[in-house]
Structures are given as structure tokens and as C-alpha cells.
Amino acid sequence: MKNNEIEDEKSVALSSFGHLESQKIVLPQNVFRSQFTWMCYQIYKSLAFRIWLLLWLPLSVWWKMTTNWIYPFIVSLLVLFLGPIFLPVIHVLSRKRSLSKQLTQFSKEIAKNTPGTHTHDWEVIAINLNSYFYEIKAWNTKYFFFNAADCQEAFRRTLLEPFSLKKDEAAKVKSFKDSVPYIEEALQVYFTEVEKQWKLFNTEKARSPVDLEDVQLPKEVHRFKLTWVLKRLFDPRFLPLFFFYFYDVCTSRHYDLISRFLSPVVWSLILVWLFRNMRNYFLSMKIEHKMQFLSTIINEQEGGANGWNEIAKKMNRYLFEKKVWTNEEFFFDGIDCEWFFSHFFYRLLSSKKPMRFASLNIELWPYIKEAQLSRSEEPLV
């Protein structure tokens, strides 16, 4: 008990020091040109990089002592090319390991600063933890978190999702040990802030009707959905893929007639899949966009297919005004809007399994259920 009290006092003292220093210290995003240069600096300062450099010392001695140059040459190539591959991997694993040992302090910072879903709420936490990790030598630089978004994502991946998915108290204690009460307090603070923000989306202003007189769904403009999809596929971002494909087909002699016919079909299917999933990437950049989507579903008075059409129109206008999408054609029609909700929201709620490339939206689970019920459908869970 005394040791725990001493550690708590030490962490509080260092945290206070970090809070004072946060007025002077800036985040790495304001120091480095890009996240890539920041990562290179982190790797350069790591122990793994020094070990990689030391490997060249015995190799140079081997070069001088041996008469057969082929073997040291092969080993040198392996060290040269495998280094840039394994060093970033080691860097990522080291960050995870260091952060997993500081979950208590991470939780304390969250409880103290009461962040919500806005990214800027996490700036002070990122700055304080950067200083704290460096002071206690948990990390070898003052730049553990690149920016506030990096800190927020770390909270989601290391605390919010793993802790919330544990089924019972024993499983939580087994995984998080003495950090459990601090994590519970941090999550309670976070969910309280999320609830406050959600209420803002359900005010009279949020429920006020949107001027949709000049808004048309893409299905009203395009005769077929295929033409709408093809219009998306011939986006400037996809043009390099088309040029590469046609160049490959025209110059290669290995394509037979069947391959020349099937290849465009396969490429089109791949691009359609990319387009459908790319929309989730754009919408998932900020959780307030997801909140707006759920709030629009819940507050839509009209039911059935017409209701989903109205939701699609409102979201097309909203996402365009917020510069999330380049035009007012995010959803093709109500069916497309309903599919998007089912695939990227309710399906994740039903599975409740961690996903590598998608957020589980744990803080939005109550509102996803409410949105599902508002559409007069039986819940799956």
C-alpha cells in the first residue's frame, strides 16, 4: 500500500510538472515537417537503431579478414535491406509496450482533463504524457504522441475498446490489473462528455428542418446506379490505376483474349469495393459526423423508404457543407443510406469484436440502438 501511495504521489507530482510544462512544450506536429519525419527521428533515437548500427562493426571486420567476399556481401545486403523493414515494426511494438505500462497515468490524465470526442480536447493530455513519459524514462524522447489525434486513437485502442469488451470484472483485472479503477473513472468521464455532446445534436436547432428544396438524390439525376458508380470510379484519384492497367494490357504479350476481357471486370469490382469502403473512411474521420448521421436517423419523422430518402438528402447536404465529401452525392438513395448504416454501424454493434481497420464506435452504441429502433426494426442484440 505504501509503495502504491508513493507511486501515486510521484505520478501526481510529475503530472503537475507536465501540466506546467505543457504551457511551453508543443506537440511534435508543430516541430516536425510530417509524421514520417517524426517517426524517423523516433527510430533514430531508439535502442534498436543503435544495435543495427553496431552490426556493421563486426561486418566490417569480417570484410577485412575474409578472402571470400561473397558471404559478407550477402549478409551486408540482408542487414541493409532488413533494417528499414524491422526498425519501424520494432518502433511500433515498443510504443505499445511502453504505453501498456502507463495505463494508470494515462487514465488519470483523462479523468483530470475531461476530454470529449473533439480532437483538440486531447492536446493537453498528449503534451502532459509526452513530458511524463520522458521524465520517468518510459520513452527516450519528448515526442511520444505526434499530435492530439494520435493520443485519442491510443486511448481508443488501448483503453476504450479492450476494456469495454471485457465481459466480467475478473477478465478486466486479469488484463489491466491495478489500473482497473483508474480506467473505469476515465471511461466514466469520457462517456459523460460524449453524452453532453450528443445532447447538442438533439436540441431544437438540430431537429430544425433542413432546406432540401434544391437537393436531389443521385438516383434522380442519374438514370442508373451504374452510371453514378462509374462517375465515381473515373475520379482523378483512380486515373493512375487505369493508366497503369491499360499500359500493362497494351504492352504485355502474356494476356490472352479471355484475360483481356476479364481483367476490366475484376478491376471494376475492386474499384467498386474501394469506393464503398472509402466512404466509411471519410465519415469516420470525426465522430461528430457519425453523431450527426445517427441524430438525423432518430429525428426523421417519416418512415419507410421515403424516410431513408430524406435522411440521405440531409446527410448529402451536411457532408458537403462540412467538406467531408466533394459534392452532394455521398448517398445514391435511401437504400444506399440504409445499407451504409447497417454495414458500418449496426453490424459492428452486433458483432462486438475488435476490428483492425475500423472503429467499433463503442461510445455510440446506445445511439446506434436508438437509431435502429427508430426505424421500426427489431434489434439484433
- CB neighbours of 370 closer than 8 A, spacing ≥ 6? 294, 298
What integer pLDDT is reported at residue 13 of this predicted model?
44
Predicted pLDDT at 21: 46
Which pLDDT does position 12 carry in this prediction?
46
Query: What does the DSSP assignment read for 78-144?
Result: HHHHHHHHHHHHHHHHHHHHHHHTTHHHHHHHHHHH---SSGGGGHHHHHHHHHHHHHTTSSSSS-S
C-alpha cell at position 263: 481483367
Question: 51-109 pLDDT, tens per residue?
Answer: 998 888 888 888 878 778 888 888 888 888 888 889 999 999 999 999 999 999 999 99
Residue 164 CB-density burial (10 A; 0-12 exposed, 13-18 middle, 19+ buried): middle
In angstroms, the Cα distances linking 9 to 2, 124, 325 are 10, 20, 48
DSSP letter, residue 209:
P
Contact 292, 364 (CB under 8 A): no
| DSSP at 48 | H
d(CA 308, CA 297): 8
Q: 32's torsion region: left (phi>0), alpha (psi -120 to 50) or beta?
A: beta
Q: Which residues of the chain have pLDDT under 70?
A: 1-25, 204-214, 225-285, 351-358, 376-381
Q: Classify burial at 71, counting beta carbons within 10 Å of its beta carbon; exposed 0-12, middle 13-18, buried 19 or more.
A: exposed
Query: For the whole model, what pTM was predicted?
Result: 0.74
pLDDT at 281: 55
Q: Which long-range contacts (CB under 8 A, 24 or more apart) does 8-15 make?
A: 11/104, 11/105, 11/108, 11/132, 12/108, 14/131, 14/132, 14/135, 14/136, 15/105, 15/108, 15/109, 15/112, 15/128, 15/132
Per-residue model confidence (pLDDT) at position 22: 46
CA distance 166 to 147: 28
Whole-number Å distance between alpha carbons of 131 and 102: 13
